[in-house]
């Protein structure tokens, strides 16, 4: 990191909600801002779920979106894999992803914060692979990050 690099710490929330959890042995997929659920006829087909809670747009919605899937890997444990996409014109580092387990009634149960290990490049993406407590659904949020601005020319 260069000395002239200016870091801006921004706390934000980019939310994704998915219904039908990996705890039930299914696979859950999430995309930025859209709640999806496995079709009752075919659990490998996902559709929009208008009954799922939607969160208000945040500052982070302007900068990031998340695409992910969840699958049961052992009793009580799920694996979330996916990408955090940086839609902004500056690279971001120290990106924290908050994973909230949500019960069948739609109430948050537990929060786990995981750091995306790589810099998320400008207009690029970084992969994540986390083990989390099994749940009927999840909510993923980018809770903090630092934008790296190039040094200004003098």
Q: How many CB atoms lie within 10 A of CB 76?
A: 10
Q: How far is it, in rounded angstroms, from Cα 102 to Cα 105? A: 8
Q: How much is the pLDDT for 150?
A: 76
Q: Which helix (H) or strand (E) holds 30?
A: strand 27-30
How many independent structural domains does the chain possess?
A: 1
Name, in order, each residue with C-beta under 8 angstroms of 105's C-beta and a sequence gap of 6 or more.
Answer: none
Judge whether 1 lies within some domain: no
Identify which has the larger pLDDT, 40 or 95: 95
Q: How much of the chain exceeds pLDDT 70, in percent?
A: 58
Identify which has the larger pLDDT, 29 or 69: 69
Q: Is the pLDDT assigned to residue 115 strictly greater than 70?
A: yes
Q: Is the pLDDT assigned to residue 125 strictly greater than 90?
A: yes
Judge whether 95 lies within some domain: yes
Which of the given ranges, 8-12, 16-20, 61-65, 129-133, has the highest pLDDT on average? 129-133
* Confidence (pTM): 0.64
Encoded tokens for 66: 């998340």
Q: Is the pLDDT assigned to residue 148 strictly greater than 90?
A: yes
The model's pLDDT over 6-54, given as tens digits with 9 standing for 90+, comes to 333 333 333 333 333 333 344 445 544 333 444 444 444 444 343 444 4
Q: How far is CA 72 from CA 1, 34, 56, 69, 77, in A?
A: 38, 22, 29, 10, 6
Encoded tokens for 142: 């980018």
Q: Is residue 38 within 8 Å of residue 4, measured between CB atoms?
A: no
Q: How much is the pLDDT for 55?
A: 54
Q: How much is the pLDDT for 57?
A: 57
Judge whether 38 lies within some domain: yes
Residue 42 sits in a domain whose CATH number is 2.60.40
Question: How would you label 28-42 residue by residue, b for 16+ Cβ within 10 Å and e otherwise?
Answer: bbbbbbbbbbbeeee
Q: How much is the pLDDT for 27?
A: 44
* Domain with 25 in it: 6-149
Find, among 64, 61, 80, the residue nearest to 72 by Cα.
80
Encoded tokens for 141: 């949020």
Judge whether 154 lies within some domain: no
Which of 5-14, 111-120, 136-145 has the least mean pLDDT?
5-14
Encoded tokens for 34: 């859209």
Encoded tokens for 24: 């039930």
Q: Is the pLDDT assigned to residue 132 strictly greater than 70?
A: yes
């Amino acid at each position: 990191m260069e000395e002239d690099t200016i870091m801006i710490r921004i706390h934000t929330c980019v939310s994704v909600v998915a219904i039908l959890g990996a705890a039930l042995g299914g696979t859950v997929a999430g995309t930025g801002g859209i709640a999806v659920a496995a079709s009752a006829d075919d659990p490998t087909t996902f559709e929009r779920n208008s009954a799922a809670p939607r969160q208000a747009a945040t500052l982070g919605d302007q900068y990031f979106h998340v695409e992910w899937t969840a699958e049961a890997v052992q009793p009580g444990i799920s694996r979330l894999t996916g990408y955090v996409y940086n839609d902004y014109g500056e690279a971001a580092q120290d990106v924290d992803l908050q994973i909230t387990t949500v019960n069948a009634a739609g109430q948050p149960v537990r929060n786990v914060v995981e750091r995306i290990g790589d810099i998320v490049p400008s207009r690029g993406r970084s992969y994540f692979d986390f083990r989390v407590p099994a749940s009927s659904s999840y909510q993923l949020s980018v809770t903090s990050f630092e934008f790296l601005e190039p040094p200004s020319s003098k």
